[in-house]
Every structure is written in C-alpha cells, then in structure tokens.
C-alpha cells in the first residue's frame, strides 16, 4: 500500500487532486515508484512477451495498455541534478559505491587489501585566461579578491585589481575584471583539448613511474599498474578542472585482479610522480583558422596531489571516505550549475557564444576536416567534450555491474510479491535464466502527462531522498562510532 503522506504538495493543482482521487492511483503510484519518481520519465508503448527458453512455451505477456496511462514509464537516467534530481541522486550513489570500493575495498568484488595500496587524491586545474573575481576559501582568513594582481588600469580603462572581499554566494565570483582582456578563445580551445591533456598525463605518469624504478615501461608493467578514477568539475569561471584518485596496484592476474604492488612505494612517492607528470605534459593545438595562432596547452599551476590515508587523526591527509563523497558529488554537476540561480551570467553566455563562433570559423576555413568542426555541439559544456566521470579498467567495479545488481534485486522482489499474491497458482511466472523476454516498445514521449503528476512525483522524490539521506547519515554515524570504539580497544 502506498503511503499518502509521501505526497506533500506545495501548490494546489487540480490535476494532482484528480490523480489522487482516481481509482488507479495505487497502480500509478507503484509505477511512479518504479522510476524512482523521475522528473522526466520516458514514455513507452508496447508489450513484452516472456517465453520458456527450452520449450518455447508462452508464459506471460506484459502490455502497457493494462497500465493506468496505457504507457510504461522508464527512468530518464540523466546524471545532472538540474535536470532530474531523482536520477542524479541515484547516479551519485552509484558513483560513491564505485569510488568507495576502489579506495577502501571490502565490497563490490574488490578486496579490502586495496586500502593498503598507495593512493593519491589529485586535482588538475585550467591555466589562467584572465583575472576573475574570487572568494575566500571556506575556513580560511578573509582576504582581498585579487590581492596578487598588478595595480593600475588595463588597456581598456578597467582596474586590474579588486580589493573587496566576496562571499561564496556573490554573483561576481568567476566574472572577469575586464571581459575585453579575458582570453575567451584560449579557454575554449583549452577546454576542447582537455581530454587529450588527461590522456597524455596518464601516459606520462606510467612512464615516469617506470623511469624512477630504473626500468622500461614494458618491464614495469610486470610489477605494477597505475589505476585511476577521474571526475570533471566546472569552476565559477566556466573552466573545467579534474579531480582524480590515482592508485598503485601490482600486475593483475586471473586469480588476483587487485594484487598489491611488488615494490614498497609510499603514497607520497606516487604523489611526487603525479605532480611531475602534470607539470610536464602539454598539447600543441592547431589554429582555428588563418586569423588564429597555434597554442601550447598545459594544466594550470594550481596542481595538488595529496596522499590518501585510512586514518587521519593527525589531520595531515585526506581519508578515503572524504574523497569518495567529494568526487561522487561533483560527478552530477553540469556546466549550468556554476551560475547563481536566477542571476544573469554574461561571462558564461560569452563562453557559449565563443564556442559557436569558433565552430563557424573552423567550418568556413576547413569544413568538416577541421578539428574544431564539432565544437558547437559542446557549446553548452563550454567546449569540454570529455567524460565527466571515467576510470581505468581495474580501479573497481563498473556502473553497469551496480545497475545490473539493483535491477536483479527489484526483479526478484517483484517476482516474490507476485508469487505471494497469486498463492503459487499458474498465474505467477518465474523469470530466470530459462526464460527469454521479447520487447516490442516504441517511444511516445517524455515527461509526466499532467503538471499534477509531475508535482506528485517531485514531492515523493524529495521525501524519498530525505529518507535515504537520513538512513545513510545514521549508518555513517554508527560506523564512525564503531571504528572509534575498536581503536580505543586496541590502544
């Protein structure tokens, strides 16, 4: 039975009241719950027929016409919180499990021994393309906005320095002091080639590890492997910067996919190699057209590599739980999330316009043979065309595996409920490896049919996320107390 208190409406909508008073509200609620109360679910029309794989006997037919709206609702699966809070929340949870398994182990098929492997939390930023307003970091002493900038006026008559102190929610943060001096084209080109910079960084890191061990890269692969998980985050100025977890493993085998490295290398040693690789990698970019110039692209000077330690009582390093939660949170952010809600952002608007302008110039110059021919496709991402979350093959489990496990859990639970409701009669069917399902669905739209349905789903999704977050917080508090108690016993 669906709890009516799950739906708490903030606005009065007649279509919502009509839905709640309808005879099919219970069935609609179950279907909405199966989508996780998605904001913009995909609507499908058709049927799915289940057959016995061995005999070919027809066991069951699922028809969307038997549902309240005659359509099957399916999650949109959008990772961006601004588009779908429900699907984004699930994606963030999956990313946390993926990252947590890679840093702590003991779950999701990853042994607990990986927690003893050298692990580094790496941050790679974009270079400066012009002076922008900035705020004081949380917990730091208040300081002037651009205290290190040169005094005086720029060639356009604007101050080069800002002496104010900006709060974290100030709409001016990330805005250039002089838009005419800001290198919009340079930032767009850098964003476009950022995935290549990361690829070359991983190659250079592996080579540096081998060089410092006094062996060839091929020989070093028989002793250790570099594994990583990386997410991208937009800064207020619209530039992407990368957060990564870099781990050192031994050479994997079929019996031991996550072995310990064959050398005694502390995490601080790996951090030094990461810094050395980041500072030395570069990409030569081609000019957009005849009026542009070639550029040598690098990461910014603000490169940070911190060893990750399991115990951080000394406060010197970061813990696995901290970095897993940090990276999972930023994996759901999009380019539009860097702007203050409701405030016009001329800087980000100009970045989008620059992407479209450079794309047009590239097409006019070289057509689709230009490396920037598709730049306009990523205008809403300010030119960044890379994956916002990626990992090496053996860092931990995969998102697909996590989703398959969750799908199997819901399928098994639904099968048990169906079997219990039918009391073991012939109406119940068993979806196992001995059955095959033939789907015949077609796309008919996206989103809920009425504003009332959308409001009901939104309120239920908010309540469900609040309940899940409270349970997770209570579980983390329990685990923290348990670990603290064990530490006291071992003293």
Domain-wise residue ranges, the chain: 1-39+447-491, 89-129+183-397
Distance CA 137, CA 127 (A): 19
**Do 120 and 308 meet the contact criterion of CB atoms below 8 Å apart?**
yes
Collect all residues with Cβ–Cβ distance below 8 Å to 333 and sequence separation of at least 6: 80, 81, 233, 234, 388
Q: Where is 437: in which H helix or E strand?
A: strand 435-446
Q: What is the pLDDT of residue 265?
A: 85
Strands 435-446 and 58-63: unpaired
pLDDT of residue 140: 62
| Collapsed DSSP state (helix, strand, coil) of residue 231 | strand
Query: What's the rounded Cα separation, in Å, for the pair 414 and 433?
Result: 16
Residue 482: the pLDDT is 59
Query: Can you tell me whether residue 311 is helix, strand or coil?
Result: coil
Cβ–Cβ < 8 Å for 249, 229: no
Q: What is the dihedral of CA 378, 338, 392, 262, to 10 degrees?
A: 150
pLDDT in 10s for each residue of the chain, 491 residues: 445 455 554 445 688 888 888 888 888 988 898 898 999 999 999 999 999 888 888 888 999 999 988 999 999 988 888 788 889 888 888 888 898 889 888 888 899 889 899 999 999 999 999 989 888 766 666 677 876 777 888 888 988 888 888 887 788 888 999 999 999 999 999 999 999 999 999 999 999 999 999 999 999 988 899 999 999 989 889 999 999 999 999 988 888 889 988 888 889 999 999 999 999 999 999 999 999 999 999 999 989 999 987 655 444 467 777 788 878 877 776 665 665 555 678 999 999 999 999 999 999 999 999 999 999 999 999 999 988 889 999 999 998 899 888 888 877 877 777 666 554 433 444 445 678 889 999 999 999 999 889 888 888 888 888 887 787 777 767 666 655 555 555 55
CB 144 within 8 A of CB 162: yes
How many degrees, rounded to 5, is the angle at CA 273 between CA 267 and CA 274?
Answer: 85
Predicted local distance difference test score (pLDDT) of residue 426: 37
276: left (phi over 0), alpha (psi -120 to 50) or beta: alpha
Alpha-carbon separation of residue 407 from 28, 116, 121, 234, 477 (angstroms)? 20, 32, 32, 32, 28
Q: Can you tell me the distance from the alpha carbon of 293 to that of 273, in angstroms, rounded to the nearest whole number?
A: 32
> What is this structure's pTM?
0.82
Any alpha helices (H) in 238-345, and if so which ranges? Answer: 267-280, 320-330
Q: Look at residue 55 in the predicted model and tell me its pLDDT.
A: 87
Instruction: Give the C-alpha separation, 247 to 127, whole Å.
Output: 26
Whole-angstrom distance, CA of residue 491 vs CA of residue 53: 60
pLDDT, residue 476, reads: 67
pLDDT for res 228: 95
């Amino acid at each position: 039975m669906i709890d009516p208190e799950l739906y708490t409406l903030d606005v009065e909508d007649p279509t919502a009241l009509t839905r709640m008073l309808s005879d099919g509200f219970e069935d609609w609620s179950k279907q909405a719950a199966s989508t996780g109360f998605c904001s913009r679910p995909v609507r499908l029309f058709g049927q799915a027929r289940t057959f016995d794989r061995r005999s070919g006997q027809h066991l069951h037919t699922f028809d969307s016409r038997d549902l309240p709206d005659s359509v099957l609702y399916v999650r949109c699966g959008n990772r961006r919180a601004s588009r779908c809070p429900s699907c984004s929340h699930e994606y963030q949870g999956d990313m946390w499990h993926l990252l947590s398994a890679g840093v702590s182990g003991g779950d999701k098929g990853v042994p607990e021994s990986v927690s003893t492997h050298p692990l580094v939390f790496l941050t790679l930023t974009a270079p400066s393309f012009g002076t922008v307003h900035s705020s004081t970091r949380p917990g730091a002493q208040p300081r002037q906005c651009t205290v290190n900038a040169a005094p005086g006026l720029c060639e356009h008559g604007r101050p080069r320095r800002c002496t104010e102190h900006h709060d974290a929610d100030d709409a001016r943060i990330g805005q250039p002091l002089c838009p005419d001096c800001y290198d919009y084209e340079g930032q767009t080109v850098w964003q476009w080639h950022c995935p290549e910079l990361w690829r070359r960084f991983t190659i250079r890191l592996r080579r540096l590890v081998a060089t410092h061990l006094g062996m060839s890269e091929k020989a070093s692969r028989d002793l250790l492997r570099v594994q990583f998980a990386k997410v991208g985050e937009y800064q207020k100025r619209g530039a992407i910067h990368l957060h990564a977890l870099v781990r050192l493993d031994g050479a994997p085998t079929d019996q031991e996919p996550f072995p310990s490295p064959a050398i005694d290398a502390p995490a601080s040693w790996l951090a030094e190699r990461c810094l050395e690789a980041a500072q030395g990698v570069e990409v030569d970019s081609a000019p957009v057209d005849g009026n542009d110039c070639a550029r040598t692209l690098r990461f910014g000077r603000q490169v940070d590599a911190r060893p990750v330690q399991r115990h951080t009582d000394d406060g010197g390093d970061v813990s696995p739980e901290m970095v897993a939660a940090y990276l999972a949170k930023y994996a759901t952010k999009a380019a539009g999330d860097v702007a203050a809600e409701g405030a016009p952002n001329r800087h980000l608007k100009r970045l989008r316009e620059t992407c479209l302008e450079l794309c047009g110039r590239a097409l006019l110059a070289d057509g689709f043979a230009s490396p920037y021919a598709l730049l306009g496709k990523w205008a809403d991402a300010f030119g960044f065309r890379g994956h916002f979350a990626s990992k090496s093959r053996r860092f931990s489990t995969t998102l697909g595996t996590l989703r398959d496990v969750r799908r199997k859990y819901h399928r098994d639970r639904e099968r048990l409920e169906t079997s219990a409701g039918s009391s073991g009669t012939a109406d119940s069917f068993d979806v196992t490896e001995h059955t095959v399902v033939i789907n015949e669905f077609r796309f008919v739209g996206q989103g809920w049919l009425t504003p009332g349905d959308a409001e009901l789903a939104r309120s239920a999704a908010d309540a469900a996320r609040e309940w899940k977050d409270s349970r997770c917080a209570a579980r983390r508090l329990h685990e923290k107390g348990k670990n603290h108690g064990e530490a006291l016993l071992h003293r």
